[in-house]
Amino acid sequence: MERTFAIIKPDATAAGDAGAIITRIEKEGFKIIGLKKIHLSKKQAEGFYAVHKERPFFGDLTDFMCSAPCIVMILEKENAIKDWRDLMGATNPADAAEGTMRKEFGKSIDNNATHGSDAPETAAYEMAFFFSELELV
Ligand code: RTP
Ligand code: MG
């Protein structure tokens, strides 16, 4: 079993799409072992996306992530990291395949509905950033 970290981003949470996204996550065989709704501060958003701090979109990305509440989750499944990335679809919803979360719920490359860890090391960092072991069931 593998664990990955997922976010229902502020756009999808505000749009009322969290329920549909969670339903799909469960249908695809992921177990939700941690879940909470939070409103990130700018500092927390910058810490979470620190790998992107030199990128031109860093300011807009971190402004967006602290603009409204989001839902953070830890998902468990065989190949959870890759399978959640596949279910999310391409970063830009315009390029995302039919049936993916970003195609269905994303509006633009900046407002793309979901986040997923991209490797075991980033998953470990991101899970520990938001959850303590005590919060996982
Ligand atoms: P995420 O980390 O949010 O799951 O997205 P990702 O792996 O598919 O994409 P990543 O390269 O990690 O970028 C993080 C977020 O930054 C925004 N972005 N904008 N304007 C641009 O060229 C650009 N590239 C990335 C996206 O909102 C992306 O989700
Ligand atoms: Mg990423």
Q: Along the 137 residues of the chain, how does pLDDT read in single tens digits?
A: 999 999 999 999 999 999 999 999 999 999 999 999 999 999 999 999 999 999 999 999 999 999 999 999 999 999 999 999 999 999 999 999 999 999 999 999 999 999 999 999 999 999 999 999 999 99
The H or E element spanning position 133 is none
pTM for this entry: 0.97
Domain boundaries, the chain: 2-40+70-132
Alpha carbon of 26 to ligand 2 centroid (Å):
22
Task: Give the CATH fold of the 2-40+70-132 domain.
Answer: Alpha-Beta Plaits (3.30.70)
Give this complex's ipTM: 0.95
Count CB neighbours of 27 within 10 A. 9
Alpha carbon of 87 to ligand 1 centroid (Å):
16
Count CB neighbours of 62 within 10 A. 23
Cβ pair 82, 100 in contact under 8 A:
no
Instruction: Bin 56: left if φ > 0, else alpha if -120 < ψ < 50, else beta.
Output: alpha
